[in-house]
Structure 1
């Protein structure tokens, strides 16, 4: 199966052909994938070199002219390094862009901590008005990329990962998807962590919600699920643990409830290792998730 990032250039290249408002801004990363599109649209495929602050600033400048810029590089270089430009050039100037990242939290361990970004979504949460898509399958990534580009002048972040679920679910860029229904609690699985969550909760009497879009947060579906089950919620996110705990609390503010936020820990793992080893070290493998979910909810096995 191809990866989410394998879909990125072909999808956006087609969008360049279809929509004269679309432009692509790159900082060397991914440039070769747009070679043909650059020949067809030399004025709308722009490489700024290894200058990530300029990457975002150029995207904002294009947005000010009425274009819909798609800005791409690794997550750590797209969100963390040029954060001031995201805050000011896009936010303060009130213009939109589609930021599309690669490498997620630790998709390329050999790149070291400079190429890891578990805090990207939490960092964007300090700003107003961002839509955040976290697809869990290449088909979902394609759908959500199209949603993002079509979203007029909205500020949208699309978080691509090499980690993937086995099958795509229908995503609409808005609502959570109910995968299982149970009575002992609600588990919200985000993006590529759905498969481990399903393995971890096999046979347990819990509701499993799937989130491929986390901002805005689908409070309506979550409330509906907690009304039919226990109002205790476990969040399983592929980035910094606890990132969405406050959004769950806001959604359930008038209900007595408990929340457990699982995700990537704050402690830096200083050995490269493999993606699977990082997953296990952060307790995001199916076995660890089952222990943590069961320990929090005290879940009984379905009869």
Structure 2
């Protein structure tokens, strides 16, 4: 199976051919994938070099002329380094763009902490009006990229990862998708963490919702799930733990409820290691997830251990 990032350039190249509004803005990273597109559309494939602030500024300028810029580099260079430009050049000027990241939270451990961005979604959450897609499979990435480009002049972030689920799920760019029904609680699995969550909850009497679009947060789907599964909720996100707990709390503000946010911890892991080692260190492997989900929801092998209070 090819990766999400390997799908990125072919999908966007086709969009360049199909839509004269689409432009691509790069900062060296990913340029090789657009060599043919650059020959066909030299005025709409732009490489600004290793200048991430300019990357966003140029995209905003293109948007203000009526183009639909697609902007790509590693997440830490796309969201964290040029955050002021995202805030002002895009947000303050009401200019839309599609930001497409690579490397996710820790997809390239050998790159060190400079190439890790577990806080990207939380950081964008401080700004108004962003749609955030977190695909869990290359097919989903292709679909969500098309959704993002077609979203008028909106501000959209598409978070690509080397980690992926074995099978694609239906995605529509807005709603959470129920993949398992239960009565002892709701687990929301985001993007590439669906497979670990399904393995972790095997045999447990819980509802599992699959989220690939996390902003706007699908409060209606969460409320529907709690009608039959109770109001204990576990969020399992591939970025900073707790990023969506406030959104879940807001969705259930009219009900007594509990929310547990699982994800990447704040403590920096200073050894390179492998992706799998980082997954285990942050407690995102199936065994640890089962312990934490089961303990919070008081369930084991389909049974509620004690009555919900």
Normalising to structure 2: TM-score of the pair?
Answer: 0.98
Distance in 1, matches of 2:253 and 2:43, equals 49
> What is the correspondence of 1:136-285 to structure 2 with a 5 Å cutoff?
136-285=136-285
Match of 2:63 in 1: 63
Is the CA contact 1:174–1:218 (under 8 Å) kept in the aligned structure 2?
A: yes
Is the CA contact 1:184–1:300 (under 8 Å) kept in the aligned structure 2?
A: no
Is the CA contact 1:27–1:47 (under 8 Å) kept in the aligned structure 2?
A: yes
Secondary structure, counterpart of 1:210 in structure 2: strand
Secondary structure, counterpart of 1:43 in structure 2: coil
Secondary structure, counterpart of 1:168 in structure 2: coil
Secondary structure, counterpart of 1:208 in structure 2: strand
Is the CA contact 1:245–1:261 (under 8 Å) kept in the aligned structure 2?
A: yes
Tell me by how many angstroms 1:88 deviates.
Answer: 0.2
Tell me by how many angstroms 1:297 deviates.
Answer: 0.6
Tell me by how many angstroms 1:301 deviates.
Answer: 2.0
Deviations 1:7-60 (A, max 9, x none): 000000000000000000000000011000000000000000000000000000
Secondary structure, counterpart of 2:29 in structure 1: coil
Tell me by how many angstroms 1:302 deviates.
Answer: 2.6
Is the CA contact 1:104–1:118 (under 8 Å) kept in the aligned structure 2?
A: yes
Stretches of structure 2 lacking an aligned partner (at least 5 in a row) = 304-309
Deviations 1:270-299 (A, max 9, x none): 000000000000000000000000110101
Secondary structure, counterpart of 2:192 in structure 1: helix
Secondary structure, counterpart of 1:54 in structure 2: helix
Distance in 2, matches of 1:171 and 1:83, equals 28
Match of 2:306 in 1: none
Distance in 1, matches of 2:37 and 2:82, equals 26
Aligned length, in residue pairs = 303
Distance in 2, matches of 1:229 and 1:267, equals 33
Secondary structure, counterpart of 1:13 in structure 2: helix
Deviations 1:163-220 (A, max 9, x none): 0000000100000000000000000000000000000000000000000000000000
Tell me by how many angstroms 1:229 deviates.
Answer: 1.1
Distance in 2, matches of 1:300 and 1:276, equals 26
Match of 1:32 in 2: 32
> What is the correspondence of 1:66-77 to structure 2 with a 5 Å cutoff?
66-77=66-77
Distance in 2, matches of 1:295 and 1:157, equals 33
Stretches of structure 1 lacking an aligned partner (at least 5 in a row) = none
Match of 2:307 in 1: none
Secondary structure, counterpart of 2:269 in structure 1: coil
> What is the correspondence of 1:102-117 to structure 2 with a 5 Å cutoff?
102-117=102-117
Distance in 2, matches of 1:61 and 1:92, equals 13
Secondary structure, counterpart of 1:288 in structure 2: helix
Distance in 1, matches of 2:300 and 2:221, equals 23
Distance in 1, matches of 2:179 and 2:139, equals 18
Segments of 4+ in structure 1 off by > 6 A? none
Secondary structure, counterpart of 1:256 in structure 2: coil
Secondary structure, counterpart of 1:49 in structure 2: coil
Tell me by how many angstroms 1:230 deviates.
Answer: 1.2
